[in-house]
Amino acid sequence: MSKGNCLIVRAAGKQLDLLRGEAFRIAQGAKVGWWTERADIGTKFCFEDSKSKERFAITCDSLGIACRDS
C-alpha cells in the first residue's frame, strides 16, 4: 500500500476515537481502504487515495485538530 497518502495527527482519547470514525466515514464513502499506524509524535492516518486524505485533513481542520503530512 502507498505510504504517500498519510497524515500525522496528535490526538488522544475521545478526539482520536472521533477521528477514527471520521476516517472510516470518508473511506467508506470513497470506497477505499484506510488504516492507522503509530508514529513517533502521534497517530498516522493513511488512505488509499489522495482525495480521501485531503478530505480527512479538512475534517481535522474543521474540528480544530492539527495534522501534517507524514
Show the domains of the chain with their CATH numbers.
6-69 (3.30.70)
pLDDT at 1: 46
Low-confidence ranges of the chain (pLDDT < 70): 1-3
Q: What are residue 12's phi and psi, to 5 degrees?
A: -150, 165
pLDDT at 54: 96
Q: Which of 23, 25, 18, 26 is nearest to 36 (CA)?
A: 23
pLDDT at 70: 83
Q: Give Cα 13 distance to the centre of its chain.
A: 15
Residues 6+ apart with CB under 8 A from 52: 5, 26, 27, 30, 32, 34
Q: Is 13 left (phi over 0), alpha (psi -120 to 50) or beta?
A: left
